Amino acid sequence: MPKIFHPDGIRLDEKLQEAIGTKGDFRVYDKMMHDWITLPVPEARQVIHEIAAWYLKEN
């Protein structure tokens, strides 16, 4: 399956890194489709915890 959103994600991350007062954390996970964190797989649970930790740290 082609990763059609991957180039857009890279560009968005680059723009966020250039912008003043913004932060982002773009990550690519091997063999995962764009909405895989909604699936009942162990990797999704781990990433949801990572997102929550990042959010709580930043806010």
pLDDT digits (tens, 9 = 90+) for 2-57: 578 888 988 998 998 889 888 778 888 888 887 889 999 999 999 999 999 988 98
pLDDT at 2: 53
pLDDT at 28: 84
| Domain residue spans of the chain | 6-58
Residue 1: pLDDT above 50? no
pLDDT at 4: 80
pTM for the complete prediction?
0.61
Q: Which residues of 13-39 are buried (b: 16+ CB within 10 A; e: fewer)?
A: eeeeeeeeeeeeeeeeeeeeeeeebee
